[in-house]
């Protein structure tokens, strides 16, 4: 009888460990998916800004400075997953570009995202440059 009780105790510890491993694995997968979605959101914003004309990039208020997006826009209301809050900043280029002759023909664009998984906050940020004679001259 004692051996059976000890065996059940060992089995309970093993099952708890396995279930904990599954829970951790699902949490990591959710985190990876949300991180990938954040990358997709930032890329979509960059691709949109890339097509703006130079005067649109430089006009105040044309590019919204804040935005929100959700993990699954096609999901039912209340079940769309994490909500991403982002900021877009377009500024003059810093060093070393600021000292070049073409500095007035370039802008620096930074997109930052914030979201929360459970109680864990996440941040992602990406920066690129916009040139006066960029792809927008070929599209329009």
Q: What is the tens place of the pLDDT at every residue in 39-94?
A: 999 999 999 998 888 889 988 889 999 999 998 888 888 888 899 999 999 999 88
pLDDT exceeds cutoff 60 at 10: yes
Please, which residues have CB within 8 angstroms of residue 89's CB and are 6 or more apart in sequence? Answer: 65, 109, 110, 111, 112
Please give the average per-residue pLDDT across 87-114, as a whole number. Answer: 89
CB 108, CB 127: distance < 8 Å: yes
pLDDT exceeds cutoff 90 at 29: yes
How many domains does the chain contain in total?
A: 1
Q: How far apart are CA 109 and CA 90, in angstroms?
A: 4
Residue 137: predicted pLDDT = 62
Q: Which domain holds residue 94?
A: 2-139
Q: Minimum mean pLDDT among 15-24, 27-36, 79-88, 92-101: which range? A: 92-101
């Amino acid at each position: 009888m004692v051996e059976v009780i000890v065996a059940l105790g060992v089995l309970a510890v093993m099952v708890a460990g396995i279930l904990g491993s599954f829970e951790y694995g699902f949490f990591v997968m959710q985190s990876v998916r949300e991180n990938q979605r954040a990358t997709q959101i930032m890329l979509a914003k960059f691709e949109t800004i890339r097509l703006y004309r130079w005067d649109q990039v430089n006009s105040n208020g044309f590019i919204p400075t804040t935005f929100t997006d959700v993990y699954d826009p096609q999901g039912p209301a209340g079940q769309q997953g994490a909500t991403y809050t982002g900021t877009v900043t377009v500024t003059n280029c810093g060093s070393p570009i600021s000292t070049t002759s073409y500095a007035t023909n370039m802008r620096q664009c930074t997109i930052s995202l914030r979201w929360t998984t459970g109680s864990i906050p996440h941040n992602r940020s990406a920066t690129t440059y916009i040139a006066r004679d960029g792809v927008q001259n070929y599209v329009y």
